[in-house]
Each structure stands twice: as C-alpha cells, then as structure tokens.
Amino acid sequence: MIGLGHGLVTPSIMASAYRTLPRAAVPEAATASQIVIRVGTALGAAVTAVILQALTRSYGTAAFAGGFAWTLVIIAVALVPALMIPRHRPPAP
C-alpha cells in the first residue's frame, strides 16, 4: 500500500513544488524531499503498527477497524497541507 500511495501522490506533489524553484535549487530540493518521504513512511508505518498493537490487546481482531480509522484520521490531517499547494504558477516578476 505504501508503494501505491507514493506512486499516485508523490509525482504530482513534487512537480508542483519544484515548478517555483530556480533550476539550480532542484537537486537540493529533490534530496530533501526524498529524506522527508523516507522518514515519513517509516514513521507512519511505525505509528500505525503501535496503534494497531495497542488496540489488539484490548479488542482482539476488532481492533483492525480502529486501526483503519486511525489511519484515515492521519490521512485527513496530511491532506490539509496538500490541499494548500498552489494550483497555478505565480506570475513572473
């Protein structure tokens, strides 16, 4: 699921982020974005696993519904800044 999410979301977000950068700044931005993506992926998987484990101890297999609910909440929170990405190129000075 992580690979599918990256494949669908990352190219469009990176393209919109890079279009306002000067050409010389793109390599640094690409490196920084890859670091953030890799750390975020690992952190997201770890948080989801911890939540699922904690819920499983209390609710058994019914905890998977709660785990998916928490995942949806995290996705909703992540969509807020994604929706703030400008859709149009700023006018050139």
Domain spans, the chain: 2-83
pTM above 0.75, yes or no: no
Task: Give the mean pLDDT of 15-25.
Answer: 80
User: Cα-atom radius of gyration of the chain, to the nearest Å?
Assistant: 17
* pLDDT score of 74: 77
Single out the residue of 50, 36, 49 nearest to residue 78, CA to CA. 36
- The answer to whether residues 51 and 67 touch, using CB atoms and an 8 Å cutoff, is yes
Task: Give the mean pLDDT of 75-82.
Answer: 78
- Give alpha helix (H) positions in 1-93: 2-18, 26-59, 63-83
* pLDDT score of 79: 79
> How does pLDDT run across 26-51, given as a tens digit for each residue?
888 888 888 888 888 888 788 878 88
Average pLDDT of every residue of the chain: 78
* pLDDT score of 4: 60
29 CB contacts (<8 Å, ≥6 apart)? 17, 18, 21
